[in-house]
Amino acid sequence: ATGAEVRTTFLGILDGKDAFFGADLLGGNDDSIRDVFAKDDDGTHFSDTRTGAPLLSPLHNELALHATALSQWQRRNQYCSVCGGPTELIHGGTCMKCTSCGAMSWPRQDPSMIAAITSRDGDSILLAHSQRHPPRLHTVLAGFIEAG
Protein backbone atom coordinates (compact mmCIF):
# COMPACT_ATOMS: atom_id res chain seq x y z
CA ALA A 1 0.00 0.00 0.00
CA THR A 2 2.91 2.38 0.65
CA GLY A 3 4.85 1.44 -2.45
CA ALA A 4 7.76 0.95 -0.06
CA GLU A 5 10.09 -2.00 0.29
CA VAL A 6 10.58 -3.03 3.92
CA ARG A 7 14.11 -4.01 4.95
CA THR A 8 14.39 -5.51 8.43
CA THR A 9 17.51 -5.64 10.59
CA PHE A 10 18.04 -7.72 13.70
CA LEU A 11 18.74 -5.43 16.68
CA GLY A 12 19.08 -8.00 19.45
CA ILE A 13 17.30 -10.08 22.06
CA LEU A 14 16.05 -8.56 25.32
CA ASP A 15 16.03 -10.64 28.50
CA GLY A 16 16.78 -13.78 26.50
CA LYS A 17 13.28 -13.95 25.01
CA ASP A 18 12.11 -10.91 23.00
CA ALA A 19 13.76 -10.35 19.60
CA PHE A 20 13.82 -6.77 18.31
CA PHE A 21 14.05 -5.77 14.65
CA GLY A 22 14.33 -2.41 12.94
CA ALA A 23 12.25 -1.83 9.80
CA ASP A 24 13.48 0.58 7.14
CA LEU A 25 10.78 1.65 4.67
CA LEU A 26 12.49 2.23 1.32
CA GLY A 27 10.73 4.04 -1.50
CA GLY A 28 7.16 5.28 -1.35
CA ASN A 29 6.75 8.78 0.07
CA ASP A 30 6.33 10.31 3.52
CA ASP A 31 2.56 10.75 3.16
CA SER A 32 1.90 7.14 2.13
CA ILE A 33 4.12 5.83 4.95
CA ARG A 34 2.40 8.11 7.49
CA ASP A 35 -0.96 6.73 6.29
CA VAL A 36 0.11 3.23 7.36
CA PHE A 37 0.86 4.42 10.90
CA ALA A 38 -2.23 6.63 11.07
CA LYS A 39 -4.39 3.48 10.94
CA ASP A 40 -2.95 2.24 14.26
CA ASP A 41 -5.11 2.99 17.30
CA ASP A 42 -2.33 2.60 19.87
CA GLY A 43 -0.85 6.08 19.48
CA THR A 44 1.82 5.02 17.02
CA HIS A 45 3.16 7.85 14.90
CA PHE A 46 5.82 8.53 12.27
CA SER A 47 8.69 10.69 13.54
CA ASP A 48 12.28 11.60 12.77
CA THR A 49 14.44 9.78 15.35
CA ARG A 50 16.83 12.73 15.69
CA THR A 51 13.97 14.77 17.14
CA GLY A 52 11.70 12.07 18.57
CA ALA A 53 14.15 9.61 20.17
CA PRO A 54 15.01 11.82 23.19
CA LEU A 55 11.31 11.76 24.12
CA LEU A 56 11.22 7.93 24.30
CA SER A 57 12.00 5.70 27.26
CA PRO A 58 15.72 4.86 27.56
CA LEU A 59 15.22 1.38 26.04
CA HIS A 60 13.08 2.59 23.13
CA ASN A 61 15.48 5.50 22.55
CA GLU A 62 18.40 3.07 22.27
CA LEU A 63 16.48 0.76 19.92
CA ALA A 64 15.29 3.61 17.70
CA LEU A 65 18.75 5.16 17.38
CA HIS A 66 20.40 1.76 16.79
CA ALA A 67 17.87 0.94 14.04
CA THR A 68 18.31 4.38 12.47
CA ALA A 69 22.11 4.11 12.44
CA LEU A 70 22.00 0.67 10.81
CA SER A 71 19.41 1.78 8.23
CA GLN A 72 21.44 4.82 7.23
CA TRP A 73 24.62 2.73 6.96
CA GLN A 74 22.81 0.15 4.81
CA ARG A 75 21.48 2.86 2.47
CA ARG A 76 24.92 4.43 2.04
CA ASN A 77 26.84 1.19 1.42
CA GLN A 78 25.00 -0.54 -1.40
CA TYR A 79 28.24 -0.86 -3.37
CA CYS A 80 31.58 -2.36 -2.37
CA SER A 81 34.32 0.12 -1.41
CA VAL A 82 36.94 -2.32 -2.77
CA CYS A 83 35.65 -3.19 -6.26
CA GLY A 84 32.37 -1.26 -6.73
CA GLY A 85 30.25 -4.41 -6.98
CA PRO A 86 26.79 -4.63 -5.38
CA THR A 87 26.60 -5.65 -1.74
CA GLU A 88 24.09 -7.83 0.10
CA LEU A 89 23.11 -7.82 3.74
CA ILE A 90 24.22 -10.76 5.88
CA HIS A 91 24.27 -11.55 9.61
CA GLY A 92 20.78 -10.17 10.20
CA GLY A 93 21.53 -6.89 8.43
CA THR A 94 24.61 -5.99 10.49
CA CYS A 95 27.20 -6.79 7.80
CA MET A 96 27.47 -6.10 4.05
CA LYS A 97 29.15 -8.61 1.74
CA CYS A 98 30.20 -7.83 -1.83
CA THR A 99 28.60 -10.17 -4.34
CA SER A 100 31.61 -9.72 -6.67
CA CYS A 101 34.79 -9.91 -4.57
CA GLY A 102 33.42 -11.14 -1.22
CA ALA A 103 34.76 -8.18 0.80
CA MET A 104 32.78 -7.58 3.99
CA SER A 105 32.08 -4.28 5.75
CA TRP A 106 30.47 -3.22 9.01
CA PRO A 107 29.08 0.07 10.33
CA ARG A 108 31.56 2.69 11.49
CA GLN A 109 32.20 3.11 15.19
CA ASP A 110 32.49 6.87 15.71
CA PRO A 111 33.95 7.94 19.04
CA SER A 112 31.75 10.46 20.78
CA MET A 113 31.44 12.14 24.13
CA ILE A 114 28.77 13.41 26.45
CA ALA A 115 29.42 15.70 29.39
CA ALA A 116 27.43 16.80 32.39
CA ILE A 117 28.84 20.12 33.60
CA THR A 118 27.69 20.64 37.17
CA SER A 119 28.11 23.33 39.80
CA ARG A 120 30.60 22.70 42.61
CA ASP A 121 27.79 21.83 45.02
CA GLY A 122 26.14 19.49 42.48
CA ASP A 123 22.80 21.34 42.64
CA SER A 124 22.90 22.76 39.11
CA ILE A 125 23.73 21.40 35.67
CA LEU A 126 24.44 23.19 32.38
CA LEU A 127 21.92 22.23 29.67
CA ALA A 128 21.68 23.28 26.03
CA HIS A 129 18.72 23.69 23.67
CA SER A 130 19.07 22.79 20.00
CA GLN A 131 16.84 24.47 17.42
CA ARG A 132 15.92 21.01 16.05
CA HIS A 133 14.39 19.99 19.41
CA PRO A 134 10.86 20.79 20.56
CA PRO A 135 10.43 23.79 22.86
CA ARG A 136 11.48 23.22 26.48
CA LEU A 137 13.64 20.16 25.60
CA HIS A 138 17.17 20.69 26.88
CA THR A 139 20.07 18.22 26.85
CA VAL A 140 23.57 17.85 28.23
CA LEU A 141 26.44 18.71 25.89
CA ALA A 142 27.52 16.03 23.42
CA GLY A 143 29.54 15.72 20.26
CA PHE A 144 31.89 13.65 18.14
CA ILE A 145 35.62 13.35 18.77
CA GLU A 146 37.90 14.12 15.84
CA ALA A 147 40.32 11.36 14.86
CA GLY A 148 43.97 12.07 15.71
pLDDT digits (tens, 9 = 90+) for 81-106: 999 999 999 998 889 999 999 999 99
CA dihedral 129, 134, 135, 139 (to 10 degrees): -30
R_g (Cα) of the chain, nearest Å: 19
Nearest to 86 by CA among 69, 74, 72: 74
Tell me the range of 59-63, 84-88, 131-135 where mean pLDDT is highest. Answer: 84-88
Residue 1: pLDDT band (50, 70, 90) is very low
Q: What's the whole-number mean pLDDT along residues 129-138?
A: 88
Q: Which helix (H) or strand (E) holds 65?
A: helix 58-76
C-alpha 138/C-alpha 81 separation (Å) is: 39
Does the pLDDT of residue 39 top 60, yes or no?
A: no
**Residue 99: its pLDDT value, please?**
97
CA distances from 22 to 7, 28, 53, 66, 125 (A): 8, 18, 14, 8, 34
**Residues above pLDDT 90, as percent of the chain:** 31
C-alpha 75/C-alpha 39 separation (Å) is: 27
C-alpha 138/C-alpha 125 separation (Å) is: 11
Nearest to 35 by CA among 25, 45, 21: 45
Q: What's the whole-number mean pLDDT along residues 59-84?
A: 91
Does the pLDDT of residue 31 top 80, yes or no?
A: no
Query: What tens digit of pLDDT does each residue of 15-26 get?
Result: 888 898 888 878
Does the pLDDT of residue 137 top 60, yes or no?
A: yes
| Local structure of residue 130 (DSSP, 8 states) | -
Would you say the C-alpha torsion 38, 3, 132, 117 has a positive or negative sign?
positive
Over the chain, what is the mean pLDDT?
A: 84
Residue 113: pLDDT band (50, 70, 90) is confident
Whether residue 39 contacts residue 52, with contact meaning beta carbons closer than 8 Å, is answered with: no
